[in-house]
Chain A
Amino acid sequence: MSRNIDRIELRVEATRDLSSSLKHLRLVPAYGQGQLLAPASAGSHIVLTLRDASRTFRNAYSLTSEPGARDAYEIIVRRVPESRGGSHFIHRGIAAGAVLEATPPVNLFAPVRMAKRHLLIAAGVGITPFLSYLPELEALGQPFELHYCARDDEQACFAGWFGERPNTRVYQDLEGRRLDVPALLRAQPVGTQLYVCGPDALMDHVLSSARDLGWPASTLHAERFGSPRGGASFVASLARSGIDVQVPGDVSLLDALEAAGVHADSQCRGGACGVCKTTVLEGRPEHRDYFLSAAERSEGRHIMLCVSRAACERLVLDL
């Protein structure tokens, strides 16, 4: 049996400012000379635990290191003005030598190796999971196209990353208005798989266009790392632990539980992976995840702790 390792410690070996808002971090094993990290496949991410004086943030970051690399994990962090705080914290408070708690890599966004072709659409810092796709797809010898909608500084940073590849196109426009998504999708030959990562509006536009054009569900892949939007404050009553946890309006249910010392399984923290699915015993959840089916949502028997909240004042959970 394999040991279930859910926490590793990483030391920040070096940081590099790619632009005024993009920071590159190289993370190595915290202890032990010559220790090797677990290899990660293309599209993997890790969750970093970032402790501020007042709060703990857990943010997921795509690995931008080469797939299979064991000496270091690399990530790129964008400072978001209205961020939950974790990204801001990395930009302000993390320097070489710092030791961070992390999860081992998990992959919820792997390329489909049986595919004939891959269409990658990224916007903004959503380019990061695809940076590990490029070497992987080239090693597999599978054709792909990458369309990237970028801010000015991102274009300057990542253009060099793509080199002279003729199958990558960069659009200087974050919202993707210059990218004609339906026309691009309509032109794709049978056997193409679609991957999208970026702001919600662009992802929703790409996915709904693809569905309208008859792309089968199994060919659509999206990676969402949005910060949970806030909402009204509410109380989570934990039936098994016998405690009440106050969830403030600007804190997610999962963060509030963790701050109260309650252990709840979780992984992506973006409502995608389904690991934090929890039974609701009383109260009405307000679903904000991408995991539960329409039937499960209307039933209201389960909630994804990481992004969803309460549509009432008190939610009783089987925790």
Chain B
Amino acid sequence: MQIEAIPSTPVYYPVQIAAAATAQQHLMIVERAEWLKPEQLNPLSDAASSLSVYLLGNTILRSSTRARYECRSFNDAQSLWVMVEAFLSQARMGLRLYVIGSEPFLWQASAIAARYGMTTDAMQLELAGKPSRNVYCIHCRHTIRDTGTNLVTCPSCGKTLAVRAHFSRRLGAYIGVQADAEEPGVLPPVEELRR
């Protein structure tokens, strides 16, 4: 049983850096360096605006791109997010945010940016890697991180949850509802999630 998309299900597109003239500053956050295609940076060869690339993991970008940018890498997610917040607290209007990563990573970045008042039309989110979802248990309000199947067991309340297509942008998670509530013990087969 795959999850069928409904209007709240997010749709992702490849990151395209806005033409330099339309924004003053660009921040790109990438969960794994290999998910960033060097040509994605090229439209910014214009020096009128600045680009910062924040990478998770100990990688330095190959310099096969024409664009000039400041690149920083971080060993762990926590120090990445601390520096993202430091960046946002200093940034001016005219900033564009680009995020490439797994779904939980994208929505964590989006939530931080929203906390600084950034609007969704200033952000681009590109999904990469294998399907991975955060699931919010509606029974005990626990968020189960990085799940990959249509059924998950909530480690907090023990219920087996069916992962619904209903996605909360605020929580960055899909809604999980007890799968055998109607007929106790009757569960659909477990399947790996496809994108």
Which residues of A are at the interface with B, using a C-beta cutoff of 8 A? 114-117, 185-193, 210-219
Residue B6 at the chain A interface, CB threshold 8 Å: no
Say whether B11 faces chain A, with CB atoms less than 8 Å apart. Answer: no
Interface residue ranges, B against A (CB under 8 Å): 18, 21-25, 49, 88, 91-96, 116-122
Known interface pairs A190-B116, A191-B116. Does A218 touch B18 (Cβ–Cβ under 8 Å)?
no
18 examples of A-B residue contacts, CB within 8 angstroms? A114-B117, A115-B117, A116-B116, A117-B117, A185-B93, A188-B93, A189-B91, A189-B92, A190-B92, A190-B117, A192-B93, A193-B117, A214-B18, A214-B23, A214-B24, A214-B94, A217-B121, A218-B119
Contact of A190 among B21, B49, B93 (CB under 8 A): B93
By a CB distance below 8 angstroms, the chain A residues around B25 are 214
Are B117 and A191 interface neighbours, CB within 8 A?
A: yes
Please indicate the chain B residues that have their CB under 8 angstroms from the CB of A213 in the complex.
Answer: 24, 93-94
Complex Cα distance A114/B111, Å? 13
Question: In the bound complex, do residue B93 and residue A215 qualify as a contact, i.e. CB atoms below 8 Å apart?
Answer: yes
Of chain A, the residue at the smallest CB distance from B94 is A214
**For the complex, what is the distance from the CA of A190 to the CA of B23, rounded to whole Å?**
12
**Given A185-B93, A214-B18: A190 and B121 within 8 A (CB)?**
no
Identify which of A115, A186, A192, A213 gathers the most chain B CB atoms within 10 Å of its CB.
A213
Given contacts A186-B94, A187-B92, A214-B94, contact A116 B117 (CB under 8 A): yes
Q: A189: which B residues are within 8 A, CB to CB? A: 91-93
Give A276 Cβ to nearest chain B Cβ, in Å.
27
The one of A193, A211, A214, A218 in contact with B120, judged by C-beta atoms closer than 8 angstroms, is A218
Q: Which residue of B lies closest to A117 (CB)?
A: B117
Q: Collect the chain A residues with CB atoms within 8 Å of residue B49's CB.
A: 214
A189 to B89, CA, bound (A): 8
CB nearest neighbor in A for B93: A188
Count of inter-chain pairs, beta carbons less than 8 A: 59
Contact B93 A214 (CB under 8 A): yes
CA A103 to CA B117, docked complex, whole Å: 34
Chain B residue at minimum C-beta to C-beta distance from A193: B117
Judge whether B24 and A190 touch: CB under 8 Å: no
Q: Check if B91 sits within 8 Å of A190, measured CB to CB.
A: yes
Q: How far is the CA of A212 from the CA of B96 in the complex (A)?
A: 13
CA separation between A212 and B24, bound complex, in Å?
Answer: 9
A210 to B94, CA, bound (A): 8
- Given A193-B117, A215-B93, A219-B119, 6 more A-B residue pairs with CB atoms under 8 Å apart are A114-B117, A116-B117, A186-B93, A188-B92, A191-B117, A214-B25
A193-B95 Cα distance, complex, nearest whole Å: 13
A283 to chain B, nearest CB (A): 35
Q: Please, which residue of chain B has its CB at the minimum distance from the CB of A192?
A: B93
Contacts of B118 in A (CB 8 A): 190-191
Contacts of A191 in B (CB 8 A): 116-118
| Chain B min CB distance to A119 (Å) | 9
- Residue of A185, A191, A193 with most partner-chain B CB within 10 A: A191
The CA-CA distance from A115 to B122 in the complex, in Å, is 14
Identify B88's interface contact among A190, A214, A215, A219, CB under 8 A.
A190
Whether the pair B121, A216 counts as a contact (CB closer than 8 A) is yes
Asked whether B119 lies within 8 Å of A212 as measured between CB atoms, the reply is: no
Closest to B119 in A: A218
B96: nearest residue on chain A (CB-CB)? A214
Contact B94 A218 (CB under 8 A): no
Q: How far is the CB of A184 from chain B (nearest CB, A)?
A: 11
Q: Closest approach, in angstroms, between the C-beta of B50 and any C-beta of chain A? A: 12
From A115, A116, A188, A212, B21 is in contact (CB under 8 Å) with A212
Determine whether the beta carbon of B92 is less than 8 Å from that of A186.
yes
> Closest residue to A194 on the B side, CB-wise?
B93
A193 to B49, CA, bound (A): 21
Across the interface, B117 reaches (CB within 8 A) one of A192, A211, A214, namely A192
Given A115-B117, A190-B117, A219-B119, decide whether A214 and B22 contact each other with a Cβ distance below 8 A.
yes
